[in-house]
Amino acid sequence: MIKHILLPFLLLSVALHSQSISKTIIGSSGGEVSNSTMQLRWSVGEPVVGLMTSSNGVQLGNGYYSSLDVSALSVSDETIIAPKIILYPNPTEHHIYIQQETAVQLSVVIFDVLGKEVFKRNIAPNEYIDVTQLKAGVYTVQLIDTTTNYKYTYKIIKR
């Protein structure tokens, strides 16, 4: 007997505190199709999502929290502005010249297409690289600024 009295009271209290969430769609088109067994609704547009609040002030989430401040993790927020470096001529037969915006000493490493290091040397500003000993082919040239360790990578063709 007590079960029959408590059950409607329990269901009534749950129904009074239920929450309703409704999403809206900003759409330019849509439609609805239904038959005796199913109903299908669609829209073309963007769903408006974010945080919602129930009637009693409880904040509800629907899986997307736009109010969170999300930022990329980093050690520092410094912007590196790399000086402009140009390698020429490309393709080349004998020498590669390096034109620098700011004169810095560079470490030059040249790799073949298999990734094997075939040349390594430090060069002074306005110094050229002699590539006559390299076979004809495609190479990757890596220039490393010896003061900042910033790396520049170029592809060259040796004739």
Residue at token pair 């010249």: 97
For the chain, the first-to-last Cα distance in angstroms comes to 99
User: Residue 11: inside a domain, yes or no?
Assistant: no
> Helix H segments across 17-159?
none
The answer to whether 67 and 50 are in contact (CB under 8 A) is yes
Whether residue 96 sits in one domain with residue 39: no
Tokens of 137: 């082919």
Instruction: Write down the pLDDT at residue 6.
Output: 58
The answer to whether 58 and 19 are in contact (CB under 8 A) is yes
Whether residue 134 sits in one domain with residue 105: yes
Whether residue 107 sits in one domain with residue 131: yes
Nearest residue to 96 (alpha-carbon basis) of 137, 136, 141, 44: 141
User: Residue 7: inside a domain, yes or no?
Assistant: no
Whether residue 149 sits in one domain with residue 92: yes
The predicted model scores a pTM of 0.50
One digit per residue, the tens of pLDDT, for the chain of length 159 reads: 555 665 565 555 554 444 455 555 454 566 788 888 877 776 665 555 455 566 666 555 544 444 444 455 555 555 666 668 888 999 999 999 988 888 888 999 999 999 999 999 999 888 899 999 999 999 999 999 888 888 889 999 999
Helix (H, G, I), strand (E, B) or coil at 11: helix
Instruction: Write down the pLDDT at residue 40.
Output: 74
Which CATH number does the domain housing residue 119 bear? 2.60.40.1930
Residue type, 18: S
Whether residue 102 sits in one domain with residue 63: no
Residue at token pair 């547009």: 45
Domain that holds residue 139: 85-158
Which of 70, 100, 133 terminates a domain? The answer is 70
**Cβ atoms within 10 A of the Cβ of 97, count?**
13
User: Residue 10: inside a domain, yes or no?
Assistant: no
